[in-house]
Amino acid sequence: MNTLSWIGVYPALLTPFKESEEIDYDVFAKNIEAQIEAGVDGLIVAGSLGEASTLSTEEKFELAKFAIQTSAGRVPVILNIAEPTTKGAIELAKGAEALGAAGLMLLPPMRYKADDRETLAFMTTVAKATSLDIMVYNNPVDYGIFINLEMFAELAKYENVVAVKESTRDISNIARMKNRFGDRFKILTGVDPLAYESLVAGADGWVAGLVDAFPEETVTIFNLVKAGQYKAALAIYRWFIPLLELDIHPKLVQYIKLAAVATGIGTEYVRAPRLTLVGEERARVTKVISDAVAIRPALPKINTEEVVA
């Protein structure tokens, strides 16, 4: 099995549905192949973009199992944990390990706004229940819980808590984490329209959303930045920005699914209570996507030997 470096591009995969709301595994396989062909470094299953809140525990395991089988050791698979109970989080962690997942992405407790002590108890209990690597998802903007430096000092005591999805939208937090902990945690930016800035500021990787529709562009930006070719990366990033901004809207799932349809590697169907886009909103988002596709840039070839961690 390909081991986790927590460096590089990690797509937060969409969960493609049929119109009946059943999971469309044929399209899921097509998207996974497009990601691997583009050179991603791992796959994250059943995250927010994967509509985790509408998936059963059984479906989450089925998606992880399918991704593991389809990737066939070419890249590691990470299962997201976004649960309202500690018991449920432990069940997912143990199940993921039994299936052969390489790691976990761990959100704070869902629905209940836990305080610092409760959040740490939740995360450390999960860490003790598995030997898998864990990436902590720090996203106070969307989930209302900020994991501060003192909390990370406690989490650092657990060897398998090894990475952070940095979605505070404060790029200077990367410097604070590096200053406090050095290389103890790998830091992966989790906000698409701050990705270039975050990578230049020292982020080790990118948990990406628009990669679900544009895997080659996403991987190319990462590789160019890490090769020190900032001007070339910035040119692609500026083209990408109108698309990347679709990642920070409450309807990011519907928006990015439309983009994946436009590039032939997704479906637009969602699971209720989400609904597919209609009217002015659909026209507006479709125009953003079609305008970008019309001027999609030619991508430079990169000497991967120049890409440094």
Query: Per DSSP, which regions of 212-276 are E strands?
Result: none
**HSE (side-chain half, CA atoms, 13 Å) at 241:** 9
Q: State how far the Cα of 101 lies from the Cα of 104, in Å rounded to an integer.
A: 8
Buried b (16+ CB within 10 A) or exposed e, 66-87: bbbebbeeebbbbbbbbbeebe
Q: State how far the Cα of 274 lies from the Cα of 3, in Å rounded to an integer.
A: 35
What the block records as the tokens of 53 is 């809140």
Active site residue 137: yes
Which bin fits 100, alpha (ψ -120 to 50), beta or left (φ > 0)? left
End-to-end CA distance of the chain: 21
**HSE (side-chain half, CA atoms, 13 Å) at 14:** 36
Q: Which listed residue (10, 48, 237, 255) is catalytic? A: 48
Nearest to 272 by CA among 24, 21, 80: 21
Q: State how far the Cα of 166 lies from the Cα of 183, in Å rounded to an integer.
A: 15
Cβ–Cβ under 8 Å, residues 205 and 9: yes
**Strand partners of residue 100:** none
Buried b (16+ CB within 10 A) or exposed e, 163-189: bbbbbbbebebbeebbeebeeebbbbb
Q: Which listed residue (10, 137, 255, 269) is catalytic? A: 137
Q: Which listed residue (165, 186, 226, 257) is catalytic? A: 165
Active site residue 251: no
43-45 and 8-11 as β-strands: parallel, antiparallel, unpaired? Answer: unpaired
What residues are annotated to the active site? 48, 137, 165
